[in-house]
Structure formats: structure tokens, C-alpha cells
Amino acid sequence: MSKLQLDSVQKTYDGQKILNDVYLHCSTGEVVGLLGRNGSGKSTLLKIIFGSLTANSRFLRIDEKVYTGSKTIRDIKYLPQDSFLIKSISVKSTIKLFLSGEYSRIVLELPIVKPLLRERVGHLSFGQRRTLEVLLLLFSESRFLLLDEPFNGLSPTSREVISKLIQERKEHKGIIITDHDYRNVISLSDRIMLMANGNLRKIDDLDGLISYGYLT
């Protein structure tokens, strides 16, 4: 089992503190749900973990290795809200570009993917493209995944398939997930964390979400 630990994260925008000494950990074999209202800093935190956004302060360790400064880490994959795929190539070529060996074959044979293999990525619907992006990360070799709004635009069928695969793939990965569909996040997660007022708090049940004003 591997463990990612993030500590002492601070981030300030225009003199306003967005993140205040945030601590978060995630181990392979678990899904950590990250909830919070719009603008609470969820996406900011994920970008800081990944290394695509500079923090005022960040301490990151995976097992015994410490990472300083702001840089992307090979063992972490991040699903941003904007697409990262090349629109001019086919779905089949995209899968072979991002994945190799057994994992490539698995994704190529998935029923939700096979009808799309000859399509160019740029011709896919938003939901189809999002599904493909999530699949590429789930079957990547990285041990830790940061999924920002993975269910956005997905059809009910794709949502069901992705939810099942997240549960299956967490055996090999640590997954931090945030999505507006809080019910799905809660059902998938082994632990729930709530971002509010720049701080991260562990939530034990729905009453906790109510007490901090996330639910009414």
C-alpha cells in the first residue's frame, strides 16, 4: 500500500486566503470524496497536489519521498474540468497513445467504447469525451488519481460503468474525487472531506454536511 500525504497547504488570491494549512491524505485502495460549495477551493487544491498550480506553501510526500516546490509528479494523474485530449485523432489512436499492453486492450473492448473507436475525438459529445478521459486515467499506471467533476455530462449508462470501474480500480490506486453529484461521491467514497472557509474537515455522515451548511 502506498500513501500520499499533503500538509501545510496555503493559497492566497488577491490578498484573500483560499486554503488555510490544509492537510489531506489518501492511500491506494481507497476513494476520498472531496465536497464543497462552488469557489470553496476544491479544484485549486487538486491543481496544487498535481503541481500545475503554485501554492504559497505545500508539503507533499508519497511514501518516503518528499516533493518540494510546484511540479507535476509522474505518480499522480489529474482530470481537469477542461479536456486534455487531442481532438484531431481517433478514439482508438487516443487509447493506444495513452495506454499500453493489457490496459489498452481492456479499454478498447469496453462496450461503451467499441462503437466510438473510429470517431475522431473532436466529433464526440461532451459526455463521451469525458467518459474517455476518465477511462484513460483509471487504467493509467499512476498510483494516485485526482478526479475533478468526472461525472459531468455523462449518460446514465456511462455514469454506472465509471462508478463500477472506480470501485474496481481503487484496489490499485488512491483516488480523490470531487463532483457536484454529492450523492454519487458519497456512495463511492471510503472517506468524505468537506472544504469550507479554507479548511478541510472530515465528515462522518449527512448531518455533518448539514451542520457546516453544505446541505440544508
With a pLDDT cut of 70, the percent of the chain lying above it is: 98
Confidence of residue 81 (pLDDT cuts 50, 70, 90): confident
Give the pLDDT of residue 71.
65
Q: What mean pLDDT, rounded, does the chain reach?
A: 92
Nearest to 16 by CA among 51, 56, 70: 56
What pLDDT digit, counting tens, does each position of 138-174 carry?
Answer: 999 999 999 999 999 999 999 999 999 999 999 999 9
Angle at 124 between CA 119 and CA 129, to 5 degrees: 115
Average pLDDT over residues 15-32: 94
Phi/psi of residue 186, each to 5°? -65, -40
Instruction: Kindly list the distances between the CA atom of residue 18 and the CA atoms of 74, 80, 186, in Å, as whole numbers in the listed order.
Output: 26, 19, 24
Name the more confident of 137 and 51.
Answer: 137
Confidence of residue 209 (pLDDT cuts 50, 70, 90): confident
Average pLDDT over residues 108-133: 96
* Gap between the Cα atoms of 177 and 189, Å rounded: 8
* Gap between the Cα atoms of 104 and 94, Å rounded: 10
162: cell is 465509471
82: cell is 477542461
